[in-house]
DNA sequence: AGTACGTCCTGATCGC
DNA sequence: TGCGATCAGGACGTAC
């Protein structure tokens, strides 16, 4: 499931594919439920003739500012299985392609989404759509104090709070587990029980987990990086096989936190 | 207000 | 072997 590194990866790949500057000539929407605002028909009509100026990202949301008249922002959330591809119109589309947007210069933008959890909007301002989100984890504004503030007074499991975008935008199930593993924290610890030192350790672990997925984080160089999940230590756990903790070789424990599959080491994470 | 749970979806996997 | 049941989860809505 795409989390911050994968969404950023998608963003860069679209930039590399030349999407900025391309003009959308039409829209084939085959699953209207993914269109949240306005209606699917209005979105399809509203995108026609618009030029994509840039591709931005906030948390897990992709924002495509458009020139021309009409709502100025095409916003996309990939959900769990969403992918965006720029392919020649002559190329056979993936069978799970839900929407396609032909471009003026030949190729088309395709939205492939097996489980249909992705979402689209066409609105004047991202603020109409985007929920309250924390500062980007790589920005200076993502401080220990910010994180501690969002944990304050919260008895919910720390992992549950890590999944809230207002706590750490861009984090999802996999990187939440990974961050807690790197921090040596039990996922079910009540968030407000964490000491300030533990919060500081967790903040750094979040940055480290995401950084590992990026390879070397460097916006300016726009470089390729390895497939992010290979960077995860807690990731490769088939449902019924308990892998060993890479630190102490204890079998990893599988539980559910907030109805999410959760893996941790009962010895290293306390 | 904070917390928990149901809902949307379908491919992959499980179990009889 | 085949087929129905179950699982997976991001974010929102609803209920307590």
User: Residue A37: which CATH number?
Assistant: 3.20.190.10
Same domain flag for A198 and A87: no
Same domain flag for A99 and A175: no
Same domain flag for A15 and A104: yes
**Distance between CA A35 and CA A17 in Å, rounded?**
24
Same domain flag for A149 and A59: no
Domain-located, residue A270: no
pTM equals 0.92
Domain-located, residue A186: yes
Choose among A191, A182, A180, A183: nearest CA to A262: A180
Specify the nucleotide whose C1' lies closest to residue A165 (CA): C11
Specify the nucleotide whose C1' lies closest to residue A152 (CA): B2
**Distance between CA A82 and CA A87 in Å, rounded?**
16
A3 is catalytic: yes
Task: Work out how many domains chain A is built from and give that number.
Answer: 2
Residue A223 has pLDDT above 80, yes or no: no
Provide the residue range defining the domain that includes A171: 144-264
Same domain flag for A155 and A260: yes
Domain-located, residue A137: no
- Asked, as a colleague might, if the bond just before A75 is cis with ω within 30 of 0, I would say no
Under the banding of pLDDT at 50, 70 and 90, the label for residue A214 is: low
Same domain flag for A55 and A108: yes
Provide the token pair at A116: 């249909």
Provide the token pair at A120: 């689209």
pLDDT for A245 = 84
A2 is catalytic: yes
Same domain flag for A90 and A164: no
Phi then psi dihedrals of residue A241, to 5 deg: -120, 125
Domain end among A102, A128, A154: A128
| Least confident range of A9-13, A86-90, A217-221 | A217-221
Contact in structure between A247 and A265 (CB atoms under 8 Å): yes
**Distance between CA A207 and CA A183 in Å, rounded?**
11
Same domain flag for A70 and A171: no
Same domain flag for A162 and A111: no
For residue A189, the domain's CATH number is 1.10.8.50
Specify which residues A101 forms β-bridges with. Answer: A109
Instruction: Count other C-beta atoms under 10 Å from residue A213's C-beta.
Output: 25
pLDDT for A242 = 57
Residues in reach of strand B, judged by a CB distance below 7 angstroms, are A 33, 96, 114-117, 153-157, 160, 239-240, 258-259
Per residue in A192-210, pLDDT (tens digit) is 999 999 999 999 999 988 8
A260 is catalytic: yes
Specify which residues A37 forms β-bridges with. Answer: A121
| Cβ burial, residue A190 (10 Å; 0-12/13-18/19+) | middle
């Amino acid at each position: 499931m795409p989390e911050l590194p994968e969404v950023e990866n998608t963003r860069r790949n679209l930039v590399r594919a030349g999407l900025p500057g391309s003009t959308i000539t039409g829209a084939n929407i085959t699953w209207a439920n993914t269109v949240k605002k306005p209606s699917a028909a209005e979105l399809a009509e509203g995108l026609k003739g618009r030029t994509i100026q840039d591709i931005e990202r906030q948390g897990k949301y992709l924002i495509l500012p458009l020139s021309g008249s009409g709502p100025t922002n095409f916003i996309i959330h990939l959900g769990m299985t969403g992918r965006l591809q720029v392919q020649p119109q002559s190329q056979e589309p993936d069978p799970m392609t839900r929407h396609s947007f032909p471009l003026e210069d030949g190729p088309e933008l395709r939205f492939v989404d097996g489980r249909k959890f992705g979402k689209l909007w066409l609105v004047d301002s991202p603020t109409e759509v985007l929920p309250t989100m924390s500062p980007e984890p790589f920005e200076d504004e993502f401080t220990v104090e910010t994180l501690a503030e969002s944990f304050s007074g919260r008895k919910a499991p720390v992992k549950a709070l890590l999944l809230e975008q207002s706590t750490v935008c861009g984090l999802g199930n996999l990187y939440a587990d990974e961050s807690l593993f790197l921090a040596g924290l039990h996922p079910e610890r009540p968030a407000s029980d964490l000491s300030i030192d533990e919060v500081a350790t967790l903040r750094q672990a979040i940055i480290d987990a995401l950084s590992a997925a990026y390879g070397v984080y460097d916006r300016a160089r726009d470089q390729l990086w390895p497939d992010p999940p290979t960077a995860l230590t807690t990731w490769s756990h088939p449902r019924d096989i308990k892998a060993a903790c890479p630190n102490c070789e204890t079998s990893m424990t599988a539980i559910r936190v907030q109805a999410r599959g959760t893996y941790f080491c009962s010895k290293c994470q306390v």
